[in-house]
Structure 1
Amino acid sequence: MSEHTQKYSISMPRDIAEAARARSGPSGLSAYVAAAVARQIERDDLNELIAVAEAEHGPVVDAEVTARREQLRRAREQQSGPETNGATGASAA
């Protein structure tokens, strides 16, 4: 986060704040919360992109998602090449 920071006051449930503080480590609570908000903004942006794409092309069908995942899995296996030949624990079936 290369932009200048500004101080804000936010409210959140105590248990969430305490859990975040416990996990924030040396970077501190502010950095932890800023990273979480940045991830949420990315998700929101992605959801907006999906909505636009679905409005233009129709909704994505589960079968299409499954087919693309299988296609990616096969492509990864091909990239691994025969030299690994099960070294990663993947089955040949």
Structure 2
Amino acid sequence: MATRKITITVPDELLASIKERVDARGVSGYIAAAAAHQDAMDRLRELAGRLQEEYGPVTDDEQQEALDRIAAIDRRHDEQRSHSDEAA
């Protein structure tokens, strides 16, 4: 992927905090990852808005069903990890 050098302005306290946390990727990598994450969240919000316009809002029951399915998947993954840890 091509990259481009830009100039940004951040508060001194934020820069100091970032510098305390960065590893080999450095400040530029940290900020690029943060920007990529924000871009992904913005795209998800846009998609959610389009879906809501087309299909209407998600009901409480639909939201709970989705959360229940995610919890079931998490439990299955935990069980698989537990079994693989026991075999090792």
TM-score w.r.t. the length of structure 2 is 0.75
How far apart are residue 72 of structure 1 and its match? 3.8
Distance 1:52-1:21 versus aligned 2 partners, 3 A rule: same
Which residue is equivalent to 2:56? 58
Q: Which has the larger radius of gyration?
A: 1
TM-score w.r.t. the length of structure 1 is 0.71
How far apart are residue 78 of structure 1 and its match? 6.7
Identical-residue share of aligned pairs (%): 29
Which residue is equivalent to 2:86? none
Report the secondary structure of 2:5's partner residue: coil
Give, in whole Å, the separation in 2 of the partners of 1:7 and 1:78: 44
Q: What RMSD over aligned residues (CA atoms) do the two structures have, in Å?
A: 2.3
The answer for unaligned runs of 5 or more in structure 1 is 85-93
Which residue is equivalent to 2:37? 39
Matched length: 80
Q: Give the 4+ runs in structure 1 shifted more than 6 A.
A: none
Amino acid aligned to 2:60? D
Amino acid aligned to 1:63? D
